[in-house]
Amino acid sequence: MRKIILLFLITISFKLSAQEINIIPQPVAIKSDQKAQPFKIDITTSFYADFGATSSISFLDDYLNKYYNLKLKWFKNPDIKRKNMINVIIDKGVTKADQYQLKVDQNNITITAGSDTAAFYGIQSLIQLLPTSKSTTLNVPAVEITDYPRFNYRGMHLDVSRHFFDVAFVKQYIDYLALHKMNYFHWHLTDDHGWRIEIKKYPKLTEIGAWRNGSIIGLWPGKGNENIKYQVLPTEVKITPKDAVLQTDGIKHGGYYTQEQIKEVIDYAAKRYITIIPEIEMPAHSMALLAAYPELGTEPNKKYEVAQTWGMMNKYNNVLQASDTTFKFLENVLTEVMDLFPSPYIHIGGDEASKIWWKKSAVSQDIMKANGLKNESELQSYFIRRMEKFVTSKGKTIIGWNEILQGGLAPNAVVMSWQGEKGGVEAAKQQHKAIMTPEIKMYFNHAQFVKEDSLTANKFSPLIDVYNYEPIPAELTAEQAKYIWGGQGCLWSEYITNPAKVQYLLFPRLDALSEILWSPKEKRNYPDFQKRLKTQFKRYDLMEITYSKRYLEN
């Protein structure tokens, strides 16, 4: 008798757990009926999608095929009497364009959305209702969900300059963002350590700038370089010993994307309703560019090399000369970039530009005098404004790191605030859009544990800190807060050399990021989030995603 009762309790417990709704990010409203029969997806189930929602159904179709070996048939014509259907319907009458409603009963699954984008978000929630193990029949619990995002900008970044990742993995990365209802992918394509995008007018950018001759070993300054000291003084950078030779692994590293590959990735992202924002760094972080075209630097006779060490690179001369020749070069580069990327936004960097190199350059000083600029901060602003004016003339908008505020903000610029929140606050008060990505919370290349499993940047951004971050600074008024466009996580790849390491550092902090940007603020609850993560980890196992098993210990 005891065995029968125990078996009954286990069965009931299994049914209840199977009915639990563990969606990340947390939807706006959920009504779950645990007594109702689930909808069963099997080989007899069919799809129907309104015109415009085919990308959504295609994504689900691919997902079912890849992870459950299920291939379903499509119907082109709607029929409300037909059962055993997954329906995706676009209804312009839905209150918000990004809103969807997902209803599951034993007869059908129906997603009704205000746009094809919203329909895609509904599909992502449906995927999280599926079992986390393979089966010939997939039970989907009876539920009604109404959902829409809190912020319009929900971004994630990937640096491919320090370490290059191929097209196949970039697509996989985009899929990860799609599953978390992110809508912007910030693709960091150029830096001191490698130029990763083909520019047909300037082939040396990839012939020379896409390759470096080695990388430091371990944390900066790297193994064998501990005794090298750098002092950035008002008029010089002092390196001791003077004859110091940087020690690296001596392994050539590089790669780049052809323009055809770029188009392929853009098309892939568009089908997942993700806008790719390319970043072309200027006026600093330009050693790879200068290695190819040294005449654009403040020391044109110098032999520039693609950087082999990490850290802030202004201990070396990595700034562009603010000359007409440089501006014409960058305009030609950005013309090709803007012709490739349909994004209305182009990121031009603007961060960590050491002013010492302009101070030391007679040509820079002459440019300042000719343009009535009082100091090098104003020269930086002059540089950014020149580029902003050009980008605006092409119908696009620039985004820059918060240093673009120095010397005065360009008229139409969007500020990405990484040095804390100050830059975002200042931009919002000036009625400019701001994207919050404060380094201490939003940089996922930082350690997620006090003692990490492998080498990471030497800072600490645990999951709970990411989850508890509030993108709207408390000091802003309600009117100013409207200029906080959203937030973004960043993944810099100095210590990330392979896709598994990307996954390890991305998950589950991406889950936390998605919830703070999508879900209503009042619904945020860390213990509940941790509970839902347990199901998410099982889904990661199904998808063969690498993450730290330490999260399973609690």
pLDDT digits (tens, 9 = 90+) for 139-182: 999 999 999 999 999 999 999 999 999 999 999 999 999 999 99
The residue assigned the tokens 């908008």 is 397
Taking only the tens place, the pLDDT of each residue in 462-488 is 999 999 999 999 999 999 999 999 999
Residue 366 has pLDDT above 90, yes or no: yes
The C-alpha atoms of residue 63 and residue 179 are separated, in whole angstroms, by 11
Taking only the tens place, the pLDDT of each residue in 375-413 is 999 999 999 999 999 999 999 999 999 999 988 888 889
Interior/surface letters 496-514, b for 16+ CB within 10 angstroms, e for the rest? bbebebbbbbbbbbbbbbb
- Would residue 432 show up in a list of annotated catalytic residues for this protein? no
Label residue 292 by pLDDT band (50, 70, 90). very high
Residue 4 has pLDDT above 70, yes or no: no
pLDDT over 90 percentage in the chain: 80
The C-alpha atoms of residue 97 and residue 101 are separated, in whole angstroms, by 12
448: its two tokens: 């997620």
Query: Tell me, what's the pLDDT at 11?
Result: 42
CB atoms within 10 A of CB 315: 18
Taking only the tens place, the pLDDT of each residue in 261-281 is 999 999 999 999 999 999 999
Query: Tell me, what's the pLDDT at 313?
Result: 57
Residue 502 has pLDDT above 80, yes or no: yes
Q: Which of 180, 186, 253, 285 is catalytic?
A: 285
- Would residue 352 show up in a list of annotated catalytic residues for this protein? yes
Q: Which of 144, 336, 352, 439 is catalytic?
A: 352
Q: What is the mean pLDDT of residues 493-498?
A: 96
Taking only the tens place, the pLDDT of each residue in 307-352 is 999 876 557 789 999 999 999 999 999 999 999 999 999 999 998 8
Q: What is the mean pLDDT of residues 1-16?
A: 43
Closest CA to 489 of 502, 473, 475: 502
pTM (predicted TM-score): 0.94
- Would residue 279 show up in a list of annotated catalytic residues for this protein? no
Query: Tell me, what's the pLDDT at 3?
Result: 47
Of 19-28, 76-85, 121-130, 317-326, least confident by mean pLDDT is 76-85
Task: Give SS3 for 194.
Answer: strand
Taking only the tens place, the pLDDT of each residue in 20-40 is 799 999 999 999 988 899 999
Task: Give SS3 for 145.
Answer: strand
The secondary structure of 112-130, three-state, reads EECCHHHHHHHHHHHHCCC
- Number of DSSP helices (H) and strands (E) in the chain, helices first: 18, 25
The residue assigned the tokens 């994630």 is 156
Q: Which of 147, 191, 192, 279 is catalytic?
A: 191
Label residue 554 by pLDDT band (50, 70, 90). low
Taking only the tens place, the pLDDT of each residue in 180-223 is 999 999 999 999 999 999 999 999 999 999 999 999 999 988 99
121-125 long-range contacts (CB < 8 A, ≥24 apart) are 121/147, 121/149, 121/181, 121/273, 122/56, 122/88, 122/147, 123/56, 123/57, 123/59, 123/60, 123/88, 124/178, 124/179, 124/180, 124/181, 125/23, 125/27, 125/100
Question: How many CA atoms, within 13 angstroms, populate the side-chain half-sphere of residue 205?
Answer: 24
Residues 6+ apart with CB under 8 A from 545: 176, 503, 507
* Cβ–Cβ under 8 Å, residues 70 and 64: yes
Which residues pair with residue 457 across a beta bridge?
A: 446
Query: Tell me, what's the pLDDT at 242?
Result: 83
Interior/surface letters 121-147, b for 16+ CB within 10 angstroms, e for the rest? bbbbbbbbbbbbeeeeebbbbbbebbb
Residue 446 has pLDDT above 70, yes or no: yes
Residue 481 has phi, psi (to 5 degrees) of: -60, -25
Query: Tell me, what's the pLDDT at 265?
Result: 98
Q: With DSSP H G I counted as helix, E B as strand and the rest as coil, what are the percentages for the chain, rounded to 5?
A: 35, 20, 45
